[in-house]
Structure 1
Amino acid sequence: MTFHDERRAFWEERLDADWTETGVGYRALGRSFNEWMYRVRQEVFAERVGALAVDWSRARVLDVGSGTGFYVRAWQRLGAVAVTGCDLTEAAVVRLRERFPGLRFERVDIADPQGVFDEAEFDAVSCMDVLFHITDDERYAAAVKSIAHLVRSGGYFVFSENFLHRPAQRGVNQVNRPLEWITARLDEAGFDVVHRSPFLMLMNAQVDAGPVWRKLWGGLLRAVTLTEPTGWLAGAALYPLERHLVRTRMESPTTEIMICRRR
């Protein structure tokens, strides 16, 4: 079994066992806290993507790494009708087809899509909290180029990432890469960055913060989310502050949303 096959097997098992926002989110913090976190994500996505001068009801949209379909639904809330989804795992695709009858879902490795989609088929592509799970740098670059191949000239690529201002942090299932490295891959693929802002501030791992704050805040989050009731209370308490911070800060120590335009 290759390393890529192992990664796919990992996600097949994880999503087959837990097809919820917890399964695709920050699992250690529990379902209740993740639900509050995803409320913030939905609002930021709607505000940032909704601000683009696009009639989404006429657009063809692809969501890469659809998981539970959270961002498929987010596109629909923006008025998008022609939404296509794809995921690395069969576990997700089977359930997505049941949840969204009438929409197209394909099992695709975006780093090697093998002609499943046509060139310039879409007006916009989203890829939310997915790319940092591609741990091989060459496959990451290949994924960005594949997405560029699918977006028409003048179309948009919307994605979320941990854009570090420090050297890469490498783990078995996730690699957080420097902003400069990521933007270089985007430029090579033919994308121009038009927007970057916080997606979350405090409700996620502080991967781009100093080591003391990162450990202190991470330990506190895990402590207050040990049970579902305390996780719900912690999420409810942080939610209004998080909404304020993502709207008023320019940089985030955790996940940010970026919007690029295809040249």
Structure 2
Amino acid sequence: MPINFHDEKNRGSYASRNADQVWKNAMRTRVDVKGLHVADVGCGGGIYARAWAELGAHMVTGVDSSPVMVDAAREQCAGMANVSFVVGDAAATGLNDASVDLVFERALIHHLPDLGPAMAEAVRLLKRSGRLIIQDRTPADVALPGSAEHIRGYFFERFPKLLAIEQGRRWPGEQVRAAMSAAGFANVSEQTLWETRRVYSDFSELAEDLRNRTGRSILHELTDDELEDLIDFVGKRLRHDQVIVEGDRWTIWMGQRD
């Protein structure tokens, strides 16, 4: 069944790693965040809220609809005085009008049945000339074949039903761009980014990560027996005695509030 982000047992699923350096470098080339107030909408366990602070943001406010995830995020960022978290919805964050310089939405929009309300909320939150950055996967991103670098592709090769679920919930790039433009964002751009998800010392470490479904909501669609079958399937395609560097391809959209 789909992941329940409100279940305490999933508390650490999106809080147990650090943002990739490739991602940080990519953000640096897109925005100088120093001195800015960032709203991380759909912040999950706080991984990227922490990363924005490390990049130099003056203040970061994480927003998530799950109190469980917000609690995990607060633990993740404990001791960071310029990072805070609130419970709120992507379309109703509870933050003040024109209160932030940058709205960031990572792995959020594929959970939304309609992009319009979240886009309107981003416009409301942003100061004049503020920017929206969306990071998610398109149907084309998820359809890439499996390899030692793109483990996720093996999920869909073994269980086509997972690909159908993924492609059914992912927004095509042109629809995201259209929704941003319709909301009033200017200079809308779209680019892809390969991001290192995690480095595993060997296959057994990857297998344990898969078995725990860590940060992989799509694997909650499998039964425990199906998951073991998938681990065996992946294991037959990878060497077990070498480091595995897993990557994911993302699409990043940017737009500026008028």
Match of 2:116 in 1: 141
- Residue 122 of structure 1: aligned partner: 100
Could you say if the C-alpha distance between residues 112 and 51 of structure 1 is closer, same or farther in structure 2, counting changes exceeding 3 Å?
Answer: same
What is the CA distance between 1:161 and its match in structure 2?
A: 1.9
What do the CA deviations read for 1:60-100 (whole angstroms, capped 9, x no partner)? 11111111111012102211131111111010112323333
SS in 2 for 1:112: coil
Seen in structure 2, the aligned counterparts of structure 1 residues 187 and 130 have a Cα distance that, compared at 3 Å, is: same
Query: 1:172: how far off?
Result: 9.0
Give the aligned partner of residue 75 of structure 1.
Answer: 52
**Are the counterparts in 1 of residues 181 and 188 from structure 2 also a CA contact under 8 Å?**
no
User: SS of 1:177's equivalent?
Assistant: coil
- 1:12-31 correspondence runs (5 A): 12-13=6-7, 16-20=8-12, 23-24=13-14
Residue 251 of structure 2 aligns with an amino acid whose one-letter code is E
Q: Once the 2 structures are TM-superposed, how far is the Cα of residue 131 of structure 1 from its aligned partner?
A: 0.9
Distance 1:222 1:161, change over 3 A: farther
- Following TM superposition, by how much is the alpha carbon of 1:171 offset from its aligned partner in structure 2, in angstroms? 3.6
Equivalent residue in structure 1 for 2:90, among 97, 103, 110: 110
CA shift, 1:24, in A, is: 3.6
> 1:192, CA displacement in angstroms?
2.7
Q: Secondary structure at the match of 2:24?
A: helix
Residue 50 in structure 1 maps to residue 28 in structure 2 = yes
| Letter of the 1:162 counterpart | R
Which residue number in structure 2 is paired with residue 160 of structure 1? Answer: 135
Structure 1: tracts of 5 or more residues without a match: 1-6, 26-30, 205-218, 247-253
- Greater helix fraction, Structure 1 or Structure 2: 1
- 1:95 pairs with one of 67, 72, 91: 72
Quote the residue 1:209 is aligned against: none
Find out whether 1:188 has 2:182 as its counterpart.
yes
Identity across the alignment (%):
21
Q: TM-score, normalised by structure 2?
A: 0.65
Q: Deviations over 1:18-66 (max 9, x none)?
A: 333xx249xxxxx8xxx6xx76xx2333122211353x23111111111
Match of 2:38 in 1: 61
Task: Show structure 2 runs of 5+ residues with no match.
Answer: 142-162, 199-228
> 1:157-201 CA distances to partner (integer Å, 9 max, x unpaired)?
1121223469xx874997112211111110011113454322337
Query: Is the 1:192–1:260 contact (alpha carbons within 8 Å) kept by the matching residues of 2?
Result: yes
Q: Distance in 2 between matches of 1:107 and 1:149?
A: 18
User: Structure 2 matches for 1:187-206, cutoff 5 A?
Assistant: 187-200=181-194
> Given the superposition, is the C-alpha separation of residues 238 and 61 from structure 1 closer, same or farther in structure 2, using an over 3 Å criterion?
same
Match of 2:62 in 1: 85
The answer (yes or no) to whether the contact 2:23–2:195 under 8 Å persists in 1 is no
The 1:180/1:195 distance shift into structure 2, 3 A limit, reads closer
Q: What is the number of residues matched between the two proteins?
A: 203
Decide whether the 8 Å contact of 2:38 with 2:60 is kept in 1: yes
TM-score w.r.t. the length of structure 1 is 0.64
Taking the aligned partners of 2:38 and 2:53, their CA distance within structure 1 comes to 10
CA-atom RMSD, angstroms?
3.7
How far 1:108 moved relative to its partner?
Answer: 0.5
